[in-house]
Amino acid sequence: MQPKAVKGMNDVLPEAAATWQVLESAVREIAKSYGYDEIRLPLLEHTELFRRSIGEVTDIVEKEMYTFEDRGGESLTLRPEATAGIVRAGMTNGLLHNQRHKLWTTGPMFRRERPQRGRYRQFHQFDVEALGYEGPDVDAELIVMSARIWQTLEIDRVALQLNTLGSPEARAAYRARLVDYFSGVKSGLDEDSIRRLAQNPLRILDSKNPAMQELIEAAPVMLDHLDPESAEHFDALRRLLDAAGIPYTVNPRLVRGLDYYSRTVFEWVTDALGAQGAVCSGGRYDGLVEKLGGRPTPAIGWAMGIERFVELYLECGGAPAKPTPAAYIVAVGDGALAAAFAVAEELRDGLPGRRVELNLGGGSFKSQMKRADKSGAAYALILGDDELANGTIGVKPLRSTEHQVSVPRERLVATLAG
Ligand code: ATP
Ligand code: MG
């Protein structure tokens, strides 16, 4: 029996990976241009880290984590998201005390969700985090940075939703209001929500069950219970976004799927991907470091789902990247192969970044030309007995009707560069 891939875990084949690379490098360059530095983290963390940061009563911790006991009996978990690991690394490496860091990371995340379009069990995120920054300036800058990604890649079918969750104290008061409200309509709640009512009523607002939406719509909203500092923070953020010309909608029911957020939360959503509309989500998590045993440290970040990002780019008319060689070297006859190796290296020296393919595995002139054509190369470079004898290369355009020309070997780089 042939081996199967694990359900919900995809191979990214070379053609798709080429497009991923283009988008990933665009995002990396943008993060760099805002002063963010890369951090690389382990895929495995102690299970406890995610239980304490993401929160016990969340979908991720309750039912989606890939958790196992290693041979030493420790409970480890494949990371479902990157923020907890970044904060842990900040604490482990003493990066949080009297310092500020703007960091990005990328890589696979693991959640045992029901696989469907835009929702996988191994998926990838690009993640940025600003540690030690109180905002609201950094909140605005992070959002402006995400907007630049859409502009750069000409992605237009996205809209920004914004909310604030207030301070922990304000949220405690709001929580009490929510419990009152949902207790009064308990018969309309689904099983998950009834459980959440006791443990974590804010989570009910994050329910994806369509049957719950009407009750959620009518629930009291956090915005009416904000503490003055959070209200000022939110207003200042809105003023900065207005000044930067970034449109948004305030969505008072946006709570996000993890427990550690406070104050600013936001989500870029699209109508181009069916039910999985969130492409980039983030928020402020001022209480997280302290919750994990560190000193209070303000922080904010966002994460973009790369699978959804790539799909959205293509839906918005982005061209799939197609890496094609600049030249394919055809070598026929005794001694031609060694010369072809040398020519290929000269081209790789002289045309950095361009792709040069050498015919591998021999074959007749005709079959090598077929491969050259199939490779998508702009030119076939032909090395046979005649060319060897007089120090030239046959340059045959493969994508036009122009005729083959004979070029002295020392002029080859210049010819192809032009
Ligand atoms: P959703 O509401 O779609 O479940 P989320 O709130 O769980 O998203 P986050 O945990 O904030 O998402 O992750 C950030 C981004 O990662 C999302 O905006 C989305 O683009 C992407 N993402 C989250 N879960 C998945 C998944 N299972 N498969 C693919 N992408 C995902
Ligand atoms: Mg989710």
DSSP letter (8 states) at residue 196: H
Given its phi and psi angles, is residue 317 left (phi above 0), alpha (psi -120 to 50 degrees) or beta? left
Find how far residue 341's CA is from the centre of its chain: 39
Q: Report which protein residue has its CA nearest ligand 1's atom 5.
A: 257
| Backbone φ, ψ for residue 28 (5° rounding) | -60, -45
Cα(310) to centroid(ligand 1), Å? 14
What does the block give as tokens for 211?
């049957």
Range(s) of the chain covered by CATH 3.30.930.10: 14-167+227-315
63 DSSP 8-state letter: I
Nearest CA owner, ligand 1 atom 29 = 119
Amino acid at 47: T
Segments of the chain with pLDDT less than 70: 257
CATH label, 14-167+227-315, candidates 3.30.930.10, 2.60.40.1120, 3.40.50.2020, 3.30.565.10: 3.30.930.10
Pocket test for ligand 1, best of 124, 280, 308 (most atoms within 8 A of CB): 308
Residue 106: count of CB within 10 angstroms of its CB: 19
CA of 353 to the centre of ligand 2 (A): 39
> What does the DSSP assignment read for 97-131?
TT--EEEEEEEEEE-----BTTB-SEEEEEEEEEE
372 lines ligand 1 (CB under 6 A): no
Nearest CA to ligand 1 atom 12: 281
pLDDT at 257: 65
- Sign (positive or negative) of CA dihedral 11, 16, 18, 19: negative
Among candidates 70, 66, 68, 75, which has minimal Cα distance to 110? 66
The arrangement of strands across the sheet holding 75-78 comes to 44-46, 75-78, 66-69
Residue to mutate (ligand 1; options 116, 271, 281; most atoms within 8 A of CB): 281
CA–CA dist 128, 150 (Å, integer): 16
In order of 209, 333, 375, the CA distances from 329 in angstroms are: 59, 13, 11
Residue of 276, 300, 307, 311 to mutate, ligand 1, most atoms within 8 A of C-beta:
276
Q: Say yes or no: CB of residue 305 within 6 Å of ligand 1.
A: yes
Instruction: Please state the atom number of ligand 1 nearest to the C-alpha of residue 276.
Output: 3
Alpha-helix residue ranges (DSSP H) falling in 34-187: 47-54, 59, 83-92, 137-152, 168-184
Identify which of 53, 58, 123, 251 to mutate to test ligand 1's pocket (most ligand atoms within 8 A of the CB): 123
Rounded distance, CA 115 to CA 8, Å? Answer: 5
DSSP code, position 355? -
Tell how far the Cα of 168 is from the centroid of ligand 1, in angstroms: 24
Q: CA-CA distance, 48 to 308, in Å (whole number)?
A: 29
- Helices marked H in 212-317: 213-217, 228-243, 288-291, 306-315
Give the model confidence (pLDDT) of 283-328 as tens digits.
999 999 999 999 999 999 999 999 999 999 999 999 999 889 999 9
Q: Quickly tell me which residue has 């859409």 as its tokens.
A: 150
Q: What is the CATH number of domain 327-417?
A: 3.40.50.800
CB of 81 closer than 6 angstroms to any ligand 1 atom = yes
79 CA distance to ligand 2 centroid (A)? 14
Q: With CA atoms as reference, report the closest residue to 287 among 109, 176, 166, 146.
A: 166
Q: Is 206 in the pocket of ligand 1 (CB under 6 A)?
A: no
Residues in the chain: 418
Q: What stretch(es) of the chain map to CATH 3.40.50.800? A: 327-417
Query: Are 399 and 366 spatial neighbours (Cβ–Cβ below 8 Å)?
Result: no
Handedness of CA 264, 269, 275, 281 (dihedral sign): negative
For residue 16, give Cα distances in angstroms to 10, 106, 115, 292: 11, 17, 19, 39
Question: Scanning the structure block, which residue is given the tokens 């998926």?
Answer: 123
Q: Which one-letter amino acid corresponds to residue 124?
A: H
